[in-house]
Chain A
Amino acid sequence: MTLSGRFVLLLALGAVPIVLFGPSVEAAAGVLALWLVFVLLLGSLDLALAASPRAVSVERMLPARVRLGESATSELYLTNTGRRRLNAVVRDAWQPSAGAGLVRGRVVIVRGERRLVSLTLTPFRRGERRVEQVTVRSLGPLGLWNRQASLNAPGRIRVLPPFHARKHLPSRIARLKELDGRTSVMVRGQGTEFDSLREYVRGDDVRSIDWRATARRGDVMVRTWRPERDRRVVILLDTGRTSAARVDNEPRLDTAFEAALLLAALTSVAGDRVDFLAFDRRVRGRVQGATGAALLSQMVDSMALIDPELIEMDWAAVPGQVRAVTSQHALVVLLTSIDAAGASTGLLSVLPQLTKRHTVVVASVLDPATVLAAATRGGRDEIYRAAAAERALLDVARVSAAIRQLGADVVTASPAQLPPALADRYIALKAAGRL
């Protein structure tokens, strides 16, 4: 049972008869008592006449997933199974970060009929957002006292990572296409294969002239090459404790998601096979053997539920995980964070095992605040901050140098720049035939 503002107002109006008809204390107290009885009777009558909020059946229609930053419509169908006309206010009790706001639906349902209450959800956090209950507040005909009950109507919606980095995709695909049909590549290696013969045009590299074909055709022919296809790419995401830190108001993990998604999109266009693994001490998410559109949708789906764990990354298990994915030569992309040398010993100790078989790229977010702090030298505090920032940058540089020495490649960039930088590195490796 709940009260309405109207009831409070009605109660307050009792002051008028008390003042008018109560010259003495006794008479006024009598009028007060009469007014209270009157108001309580009206309220009870209202309550008795209100339809039961329990006699409502709820059906929910929800999209299964929504991309972060976009809106979805939650539809709630309420059927009045009671005998009376239901005049109700409905609250759909979504978790706060589902972005439902404080919207309350107002419905009037004649007995036996069904009404739709729709709600726009604009989630502001990745993951799975849930709703358990629907609360119905049934108003009486006078609107004084209401009946209220909560009904179980569970629902869930999966909020996918936003993939803002997809804006970089067209330019990178265009750059990838340029690799096709080029007469020569910088380094001709395992990753390139013979494509076709075509007539020589001015500007072509004379080294790629195929003399045998020229002799056959009587015209100068050149060989063209294309990047090799069907290479393996393994994206391994570190979901350990360091991935929880926020850089530019975005957790490292989310930046890694963006980078992984852009790389996967690009890779599937280039015709390579992508396997995705999120790992700290156990596998948090895995996408294997998917191609095309299914790949991205499976990846965002598994990413939606991954949160940073408060445990140290188990680097010793990483080679085994990669081996379980593929035994061939592959491009292994480790999305992690490069910090101080001490914190990176785990990574450095297993890199030789990986670089022996695979091409390895270590990608890490570089905090733009650190770079800015290193260049700001105003007062006393700032000079010490600059020193600390410089020290942090030197640590990153040292670890990066160590990683390069072990035969792996390093990509560091600010959160906004990391996904395109990683994609560029992939294209460069592909052009160099190192996949």
Chain B
Amino acid sequence: MSATLTSPEDAAAPGARAGGGPASATTVATPTLRALLRRSSFWVIAAACILAIAIIAVLVSGGSQAAGRALAGDNAAPAGSMALVEVLRQQGVTVTLAGSLAEVRGAVGADSTVLLYDENSYLDQSQLSELGDLAARTVVVAPDFLALQALAPTVGFGGVSDAETLTADCSVPAASRAGELVPGGDTLSIPQGEHPLVTGCFPSGTDTFSLVQVQNELTGDLVSLVPDPRVFNNENVTGYGNAAFALGLLGPSDSLVWYLPTLADLPRTGPPSLADLTPGWVTPVLMLLALVGVAAAVWRGRRFGPLVAENLPVTVKASETLEGRARLYARSNARLRAIDALRVGAVQRLARTVGLGRLAHLDEVIATVALITGRAPDEVRRVLVGAIPVSDAQLMELGVALQALETATSQAVRAGAPASASSEIFPPPAERMDP
């Protein structure tokens, strides 16, 4: 009763005493969180260091994605065009990197230049026509068939240039200022005859050119076709007159839209995808289910304390040597050896049954058994010694015959005169004093 009246501080004390002196010395085997952290501090710190080094390494080498997109304005790799874009920006040109036609539409002004490099032919004819109408100057790098169809139907492909040098040889200011271009690369061809609105520069043959400029006769918009993209990339822009040519072609206006079409330009066709049809909650519910799975694994997998070890005895059956010997006999077809063992055992038992003693001679046993059972002595001798089994069937027949002989003998002995001699020679001591 007094315990209920004491204050909480006092109540703890008798409780501790009730626990007994030795009980209060219970030590805890599980380390505390703090001890665990201290013990594993090396690994924690090591892991943190490795993580930090990895992050720093990624940040340092961040820009140089090994390949990147060819002619991308933010790609410093050899195939990119970051050098050109940066120089243009230093010259005061506003360069806008666009990834879709919609972005181009938003960025282009009245007096803008648009560079198009459609490496994967994402744009269709209508998009290309629209693009041609958007800006006053359009530079198409490596135009494909559709681009030529849409923007300069008169121009065709001219194959790979085989000229040693490419010199301007025309009146386009950018071309004449550059003088010459990197040799080789694709060319375009202008058909024979007078085409007042089409100008070809850097000829490699009679009518193949590395720059073709087409002027729209209604609007006066200029479309420049440059079949060789190497002119603009970081690797080659400094060679020959490439830099002067590129700056001259792209730099006349204050605004340049650097347009590399992406998948966003592809028109969406066909039925709606699975993602469009599923409700918004499906993905979060799947994530939740994954978390539930993890939590359930922790719930069921967490052990209730450490495992308890115990040394267990080996289980050896005593009859294993017997089995092994039996299989050895069977595998080596040791019929004679097997029947010998059976016969010796049987003869000893028979001798005991008929009251002859363990050391009785075999002939004696045979004669006595034949007499008692009424069988022919030759037959008894055949079973007990004579017959040599040459097949497993004979072995089995002999084994069964031995057993039958033993049974017959013991029955005959029991039926006939009680073999008192045997019980005197082998007195079972346990039975002697039974009440």
Task: Write the nearest CB–CB distance from B140 to chain A, whole angstroms.
Answer: 39
Residues of B within 8 A of A25 (CB): 280-281, 283-284
- CB pair A19–B342 under 8 Å, yes or no, is no
Which B21-45 residues have a C-beta within 8 angstroms of A?
A: 22-30, 32
Could you tell me the distance between the alpha carbons of A370 and B345 in the complex, rounded to whole angstroms? Answer: 13
- CB pair B433–A427 under 8 Å, yes or no, is yes
- CB pair A148–B30 under 8 Å, yes or no, is yes
Q: Is B308 an interface residue (CB 8 A)?
A: yes
Residues of B within 8 A of A56 (CB): 26
Residues of B within 8 A of A91 (CB): 304-305
Task: Write the nearest CB–CB distance from A344 to chain B, whole angstroms.
Answer: 14
- CB pair A175–B433 under 8 Å, yes or no, is yes
Which B361-405 residues have a C-beta within 8 angstroms of A?
A: 392, 395-396, 399-400, 403
Interface string of A12-29 (1 = CB under 8 A from B): 101100110011111111
Q: Is A230 an interface residue (CB 8 A)?
A: no
- Name the residue on B nearest A35 (C-beta): B288
Interface string of A353-376 (1 = CB under 8 A from B): 000000000000101011001110
- From B306, B319, B358, residue with most partner A Cβ within 10 Å: B319
How many A-B residue pairs have C-beta atoms within 8 angstroms? Tell me.
260
Q: Is A80 an interface residue (CB 8 A)?
A: yes
Residues of B within 8 A of A375 (CB): 403
- CB pair B341–A28 under 8 Å, yes or no, is no
- Name the residue on B nearest A3 (C-beta): B299
Task: Knowing A3-B295, A57-B19, A151-B28, say if A96 contacts B308 (CB, 8 Å).
Answer: yes
Task: Knowing A111-B15, A112-B11, A245-B316, say if A384 contacts B28 (CB, 8 Å).
Answer: no
- CB pair B344–A384 under 8 Å, yes or no, is no
- From B295, B298, B305, residue with most partner A Cβ within 10 Å: B305
Q: Is B430 an interface residue (CB 8 A)?
A: yes
Could you tell me the distance between the alpha carbons of A234 and B198 in the complex, rounded to whole angstroms? Answer: 127
- How many B residues, CB 8 Å from partner? 79
Stretch at the interface among A192-200, A209-217, A281-289, A387-395: A387-395
- CB pair B306–A133 under 8 Å, yes or no, is yes
Interface string of A84-101 (1 = CB under 8 A from B): 000001010111110000
Stretch at the interface among B169-177, B235-243, B320-328: B320-328
- Name the residue on A nearest B278 (C-beta): A25
Task: Write the nearest CB–CB distance from B122 to chain A, whole angstroms.
Answer: 27
Q: Is B419 an interface residue (CB 8 A)?
A: no
Residues of A within 8 A of B330 (CB): 380-381, 384
- CB pair A8–B338 under 8 Å, yes or no, is no
- Name the residue on A nearest B324 (C-beta): A388
- CB pair B399–A377 under 8 Å, yes or no, is yes
- CB pair B19–A59 under 8 Å, yes or no, is yes
Could you tell me the distance between the alpha carbons of A385 and B8 in the complex, rounded to whole angstroms? Answer: 79
Interface string of A404-417 (1 = CB under 8 A from B): 00000000000000
Which one of B16, B281, B315 lies within 8 Å of A28 (CB-CB)?
A: B281
For chain A, give the interface size range.
35 or more
Interface string of B7-18 (1 = CB under 8 A from A): 010011111101
Could you tell me the distance between the alpha carbons of A59 and B433 in the complex, rounded to whole angstroms? Answer: 55
- Name the residue on B nearest A367 (C-beta): B318
- CB pair B19–A114 under 8 Å, yes or no, is yes
Could you tell me the distance between the alpha carbons of A387 and B343 in the complex, rounded to whole angstroms? Answer: 9
Q: Is A203 an interface residue (CB 8 A)?
A: no
Could you tell me the distance between the alpha carbons of A24 and B275 in the complex, rounded to whole angstroms? Answer: 12
- CB pair B430–A137 under 8 Å, yes or no, is no
Q: Is A252 an interface residue (CB 8 A)?
A: yes
- CB pair A81–B24 under 8 Å, yes or no, is yes
Residues of A within 8 A of B280 (CB): 22-28
Task: Write the nearest CB–CB distance from B346 to chain A, whole angstroms.
Answer: 8
- CB pair B396–A377 under 8 Å, yes or no, is yes
Task: Write the nearest CB–CB distance from A85 to chain B, whole angstroms.
Answer: 12
- CB pair B285–A18 under 8 Å, yes or no, is yes
Could you tell me the distance between the alpha carbons of A177 and B338 in the complex, rounded to whole angstroms? Answer: 49
Stretch at the interface among A264-272, A321-329, A418-426: A418-426
Could you tell me the distance between the alpha carbons of A125 and B311 in the complex, rounded to whole angstroms? Answer: 11
Task: Write the nearest CB–CB distance from A303 to chain B, whole angstroms.
Answer: 15
Residues of A within 8 A of B196 (CB): none
Could you tell me the distance between the alpha carbons of A390 and B319 in the complex, rounded to whole angstroms? Answer: 12
- CB pair B304–A137 under 8 Å, yes or no, is yes
- CB pair B26–A247 under 8 Å, yes or no, is no
Residues of B within 8 A of A58 (CB): 23, 26
Q: Is A32 an interface residue (CB 8 A)?
A: yes
- Name the residue on B nearest A413 (C-beta): B430
Could you tell me the distance between the alpha carbons of A256 and B19 in the complex, rounded to whole angstroms? Answer: 45
- Name the residue on A nearest B402 (C-beta): A377
- CB pair B19–A81 under 8 Å, yes or no, is yes
Contacts A22-B284, A23-B281, A383-B392 given; 20 further ones with Cβ under 8 A?
A3-B298, A7-B295, A11-B291, A32-B285, A57-B16, A112-B13, A148-B305, A151-B28, A174-B435, A245-B316, A246-B316, A246-B317, A370-B319, A383-B395, A383-B399, A385-B323, A388-B338, A397-B348, A425-B430, A431-B433
5 smallest CB-CB distances across A and B, nearest first, come from A112-B15, A135-B305, A79-B19, A387-B338, A424-B430
Pick 30 A–B contacts, CB within 8 A, sort by A: A8-B292, A18-B288, A22-B281, A23-B279, A25-B281, A26-B280, A32-B284, A56-B26, A59-B23, A79-B23, A83-B12, A95-B310, A96-B310, A112-B12, A149-B28, A152-B29, A175-B433, A178-B433, A245-B317, A369-B319, A373-B319, A380-B395, A381-B326, A383-B338, A387-B326, A387-B337, A388-B322, A390-B341, A425-B430, A428-B433
